[in-house]
Structure 1
Amino acid sequence: MIVRQTPNALKIFFTLRGSIVPKIYPQILLTTLLSTLITVIQHWHPNSFPYYGTATFTLIGIALSLFLGFRNNASYQRWWEARTLWGQLVYDSRSLTRQVLSFIDEDNTTAIENGEDGKDNNETGRDIQRDMVYLTIAFAHAVRHRLRGTLPWADIEPFVAVTDHDRMHQAKNVPDYIMRLMGKQLGDIRRQGLISEQVIQNMDERLTSMTIVLAACERIHNTPLPFAYMLLVHRTTYLYCIMLPFGLVASLGWATPLICAVIAYTFFGLDALSEELEEPFGLAANQLPLTALSRTIEINLREALGETDIPPDITPINGYLQ
């Protein structure tokens, strides 16, 4: 995501990082070359393209603007909902960690059954706190990797017990598997009577909220805007920008290529920006900085545990926050 401040009046025309121009310059170039060719033909052979009037192009332009506006609003709504969901995940992670650290006694020692060798081992309250907080960190990283389609193991394996790695690798939905581990851990805490039923219920509500965040993000990721609507906007934009110089050249003359290029930049730019915002979880310049958000969760939660070897914040590079 671009985090640089608003450029000044001079730089605003030359800023490319975060701009949509690199994606749409072929369309702008095509429109400009076509407009230039038509202008040259009209100059050497007057009346080749008669004056059609601007009323038709004005009506089509207004209709196209409405289509692009509706699509841009729908895409931005998806982007903002995704950002709101990740804000909720930050809130739930901090709240759950605060509850775990506040209500589980560090000095408490509990006998637990080891699933591998069947023996009972002693686990302190501090161990239970760390396990629960670590699973919360692993969940945040796993959600990011699932939405981006990347391998999560390097980020989540340090926070998940070694005995759970094999099953975790086999899971179809890794963050959901981690959530089940968190639910099992909470069930163990309840059976051991480490905290009251009311606190257990409050912590379970935090887990439910985190599950809702995962499901809502998957809904956004797996449900794009209808293809027919996108196709209609694409076709109309291309047809309008191709027909425009034929209708303007008789009245604008040599100014036709410049005007057509500006209009093409506006319409193709809105179309491309809407397409980029439609999928908010990627790595494009205007998509959400999920790496920085998940790193923030990790830093906050490990700091709450009192750890000192925590990773640094992810800072913007050339105004871009990943």
Structure 2
Amino acid sequence: MNSGRIYKLQHFIPWTRKKIYYLIVISAIPTILYYFFELKWLAIPWVPVALVGTATAFIAGFRNTQTYNRLWEARQIWGAIVNNSRTWGILVKDMVRDTEVGAEKSLHRDLIYRHFAWLTALRFQLRESRGWENVKTKSYNREYLNYYKVPEWEGSLAEELQNYVTADELEYILKKKNKAAQILALQSARLRDLNQQGKINDLNYVEMQALLKELYDQQGKNERIKNFPYPRQFASINVMFVYLLSIVLPLGFLSEFAKISANCVWFTIPISVIVGWVFFTLEQVGESSENPFEGSANDVPITSMSRAIEIDLRDMLGEENLPEPLVANTNNILM
């Protein structure tokens, strides 16, 4: 997530420079042919250009709206995870009882730290790459990775989980495919044992199991967004329309500028580049927003949100030397 006021033009221009080069070439060719070789038939009326432009603007606006909705839904899901995590901390502290104070604190720590393990496994799963994601496959996105680091790509899940679960649980979890789901299953089994031992009464046991169900539901919503891409037919037609518009734009501008004077046709190149750049940038912005967990600079900051949850819950446990909250780097990117 970019936590700055705006993206600066010095970031946007390099990010879209290949499209700018393409637009310069695609607009210069017909202009040169028109001016030097007098191929007047290249100039077309503005009406078909306007029709293509209208269709392109409509489909680009539709895509950006839908990709923003995916991003915002992901943020809402993680907002619910933050709230339910705090609720989990309160329920553990107030509903899990033991006659020995030291043993009670150990139980609280066990249940809350296992929740940290779930958060860790979930964010590692969400930051795994999928074939339709763009951050590693598109050259302009790969270049932008120089501005920030993705913690889940730099670190090891096993190393992080060992801070929260026992060695036996760690060995069990690492053998599973959906590690986050299995951690919640371990949490449920632990609650059952505590209920049978009389350390959680039946009413509180039902309440805590209901909260685990909520966490399963939120994990499933994350997985739905992660594993179901923005429909490829809409993404494809958007790219096709933008490229079609970039081709017909200079032909339409030739017709319009030729009405002023012969030399004015050279304005076709800069104006076509500017207008085409707007549409290509809209297309790239939509593309960079459609997968909110892929590891891009526009991701939902699940790493920093997980750290904030850990700080809150460890504070509930009365621990000192709490970890520092994650902050945006020098390029205002917060992961």
Q: Which range moved further: 200-209 or 250-259?
A: 250-259
Amino acid paired to 2:292: P
**SS of 1:43's equivalent?**
helix
The reply to whether residue 194 of structure 1 matches residue 183 of structure 2 is no
Deviation at 1:107, TM superposition (A): 4.3
Q: Deviations over 1:108-144 (max 9, x none)?
A: 47xxxxxxxxxxxxx8111111000001111111110
Question: Greater shift after overlay, 100-109 or 196-205?
Answer: 100-109
Residue by residue over 1:276-309, the C-alpha shift from the partner in whole angstroms, topping out at 9 and shown as x without a partner, is: 1111002211121111111111111111111112
Counterparts in 2 of 1:177-256, with a 5 A limit? Answer: 177-252=182-257, 253-256=265-268
| CA distance in structure 2 between the aligned counterparts of 1:33 and 1:205, rounded to whole angstroms | 61
* TM-score of the superposed pair, with normalisation by structure 2: 0.85
Contact 2:26 2:246 in 1 (8 A): no
1:39-88 alpha-carbon deviations (Å, 9 max, x no partner): 23323344534542211111111111111111111111111111111111
**Matched letter for residue 269 of structure 2:** P
Secondary structure, counterpart of 1:279 in structure 2: coil
1:301 lines up with 2:306 in the alignment: no
Kindly provide the amino acid, as one letter, of the partner of residue 264 in structure 1: G
Q: 1:96 aligns with which of 66, 88, 92?
A: 88
Does 1:270 find its partner at 2:262?
A: no
2:148 corresponds to:
none
Distance 1:225 1:5 in 2: 27
Out of 33, 40, 44, the position equivalent to 2:36 is: 44
Pair 1:75-2:75 in alignment: no
- Residues in 2 aligned to 1:221 and 1:96: alpha-carbon distance in whole angstroms: 25
- Unaligned runs of 5+ residues in structure 1 are 110-122
The structure 2 residue matched to 1:141, chosen from 114, 120, 123, is 120
Q: Which residue of 1 aligns with 2:292?
A: 280
Q: Residue type matched to 1:74 in 2? A: Q
1:61 alignment partner, one of 48, 53, 58: 53
Asked if 1:162 is matched to 2:167, the reply is yes
Aligned residue pairs total 301
The 2-side partners of 1:192 and 1:81 are apart by 40
Give the Cα–Cα distance (whole angstroms) in 1 for the partners of residues 72 and 187 of structure 2: 28
2:121 maps to amino acid? A
TM-score relative to the length of structure 1: 0.88
Question: Do the aligned partners of 1:104 and 1:129 also contact (CA within 8 Å) in 2?
Answer: yes
Distance 1:172 1:49 in 2: 62
In structure 1, C-alpha distance between the alignment counterparts of 2:160 and 2:267, rounded to whole Å: 56
Contact persistence 1:281–1:287 (CA under 8 A): yes
Distance across 2 between alignment mates of 1:264 and 1:153: 47
> Once the two structures are aligned, what percentage of the paired residues are identical?
27
Q: Distance in 1 between matches of 2:224 and 2:293?
A: 12
Asked if 1:34 corresponds to 2:26, the answer is: yes
- Name the structure 1 match of 2:143: none
The RMSD of aligned alpha carbons is 1.8
Check whether the contact 1:72–1:274 (CA below 8 A) recurs between aligned residues.
yes
The C-alpha deviation readout for 1:245-266, integer Å capped at 9, x for no partner, is 1221232312212221122222
Distance 2:83 2:243 in 1: 44
CA contact (8 A) 1:190 1:200 kept: yes
**Secondary structure in 2 aligned to 1:280?**
coil
Shift of 1:157: 1.7
